[in-house]
Amino acid sequence: MSEQPYLRVANVTKRFGSFTALRDVSLDVDRGEFVCFLGPSGCGKTTLLRAIAGLDIQSEGTIHQGGRDISALPASMRDFGIVFQSYALFPNLTINENVAYGLHGRGLKRQDIRERVRSLLDTVGLADQGDKYPAQLSGGQQQRVALSRALATEPGLLLLDEPLSALDAKVRQHLRLEIKALQRRLGVTTIMVTHDQEEALAMADRIVVMNVGVIEQVGTPHEVYSSPATAFVADFIGEMNFVPADIVARGEIRVGPDLCCECETDGAATPAAATMAIRLEDIVLTEAGTRDKNHFVGEIRDLEFLGSFVRAYVGGEAIGEVTLRADISANLMRRLNLDIGAKIPVALPANRLHVYPKD
C-alpha cells in the first residue's frame, strides 16, 4: 500500500430539499497539493467545499482527512482553516486580535501568541498594521489578514472560498502569486473555490472542473486546457471553436461539405454525428499549403484587433456555413499581411482536434 491521499471524498451527494447540489462526487487530494474547484455559479463547488469543512454536511458519502473519517463531524471538530470572499474579519477587533483569535485556549503563553501573530503578519507584509482595525485596510490587505488568521493555528487543510473575487483585477493578480508562493513554502494542502478559470490555471496543481453537481474532469491545468475531457470543460476553459461534424470512419471526421480531418475519435461509433472542437490559437494559417486532409482554403471574413493578437473569422467553401475563429499573433499577422476577403490555406492539426459526442 503506497501513500494514502490526504483527503478522500467518496460518493458524496448533497441534497437541499428536492434539489441535488452534488451528485456522487469522489475525489482524492494529496498532501501538500493545491487543488482548485472550478465551475460556473451553481455547479456545486462551494457546496463541496462546505461539505469538506463540515459547514453543510453532505447527505450521503464519506470524507476522510489524514486517514480519519470526518464525514459526520461538525466544523469545530475538523482540522482546517478557511478564508471567505467576504474575508469575515471581526470588524471590532484589531488585526493582531483577529490573527490571534484562534490561538486562545491552546495553552499558549501571551508572549508566544504575540510572536506568532507578528511572524504571520510579517509573512504577508503587514507587520506594521497590527493595531489597525480591518476597515482601515484595503481589500487586498484584509484578505491577507484573513489568510494569516486561517493559517495561525497551523491547520492541515486550507480552504479558500473565492478569496480573490471581491478584489480589483490588479490586486487579484498580485495576490494570487503571493498566495501560491506562501502555500508552496508552507506546504499546506489547499483547496480553493473559484469561478475564474485564469485564476485556477495560474494557481492550481490540479483543477477539478465541476458542472451541475458532478465533476467533469480532474487534471493539471495543462491537461484540462489542452485535453478537455468533455465539451463542457472545453467550452468553460479558454476559447474554443465548436463545429458540427460527422465521424465517417475510425480516426476520420468530415466537417462541412468538403473537409476531411484525421483525428483521435476514441473508439466512438461510426458513422455518427459529433462535435469537433479546436482552440482559437491552434488553427494554423499558413503562407503556402498543401491540399491534403486537415487543410482547406480559407477566406478571411472579418478581423478583430485585440492588442497583442488579432482574431480572424475564417470561412471557406470546404467547410460550408461554418465560420471559425482563429487567433493570430501580431508577429505572424505582420508577415501574412492579411486583409478582409483574402484567401489563405488553413490547417487544423490532427493532434489539436477534439471530438465530442453531439449533444
Partner 1 sequence: MATVEAAYGAGATAPAKPIKSKLSRDDYSMRGLIVVIIVYLAFALILPLALVLTKSVQTYHFTLDQVEVEFFRDGAWVERATLADWVERSDYEVNHGLRASERTREQPAQIIPRGARQDIEQFRLRDLSPEKGLILHAGDLSDSDAWIEVDRREFARVQIRPARSYGLGNFDHYFATPALRVSIVNSLTIALITTGIVIPLAFAYAYGLTRTLMPLRPVFKTIAMVPILVPSLLPAIGLVYLFGNQGILTPLLMGESIYGPIGIVMASAFFAFPHAVLILLVALSVTDARLYEAATALRASPLRTFLTVTLPGARYGLISAFFVVFTLVITDFGVPKVVGGQYNVLALDIYRQVIGQQNFQMGAVVSMILLVPAIVAFTVDRMVTRRQVALLSARAVPYQPKPHRQRDLTFLGICSVVGLFILGILLMCQLAAVFQFWPYDLSLSLRNFAFNQMDGGGWASYGNSIRMALYTAFIGTFLIFFGAYLVEKGNGFTKGRSIFQLFAMMPMAVPGMVLGLAYIFFFNDPANPFNFLYGTMAILVICTITHLYTVSHLTAATALKQMDPEFEAVAASLKQPFWRTFSRVSMPVCLPAMSEIWIYLFVNAMTTVSAVVFLYSPSTTLASVAVLNMDDAGDIAPAAAMGMMIFYTNAGVRILHHIFANRVLGRTQAWRMR
Q: Which residues pair with 7 in a beta bridge?
A: 29, 65
Q: Which residue has the cell 508562493?
A: 181
CA 334 to chain centre: 34
Assigned C-alpha cell, 105: 485556549
Could you list the residues that contact partner 1 (CB under 8 A)?
Answer: 1, 4, 8, 10-11, 13, 53-55, 57-62, 64, 67, 69, 71-78, 80-82, 84, 86, 88, 90-93, 101-102, 104-105, 133-136, 149-150, 152-153, 155
Q: How far does the chain reach from its first CA to its final CA, in angstroms?
A: 41
271 prior amide bond cis, ω within 30: yes
CB of 10 to partner 1, least distance (A): 5
Question: How does DSSP assign 21-71, residue by residue?
Answer: EEEEEEEEE-TT-EEEEE-STTSSHHHHHHHHHTSS--SEEEEEETTEE-T
CB of 73 to partner 1, least distance (A): 6
Assigned C-alpha cell, 297: 482554403
In whole angstroms, how far apart are CA 283 and each of 63, 238, 347?
Answer: 43, 14, 6
Cα gap 184→134, rounded to integer Å: 27
CB–CB of 146/84 below 8 Å? yes
CB of 108 to partner 1, least distance (A): 13
Percent of the chain as helix, strand, coil, to the nearest 5:
30, 35, 35
CB–CB of 49/75 below 8 Å? no
Number of other residues whose CB lies within 10 A of the CB of residue 284? 17
Q: Which residue has the cell 476597515?
A: 135
> Taking Cα atoms as reference points, which of 235, 264, 237, 240 lies closest to residue 250?
264
Q: Which helix (H) or strand (E) holds 101?
A: none
Burial class (CB in 10 A: 0-12, 13-18, 19+), 180: middle
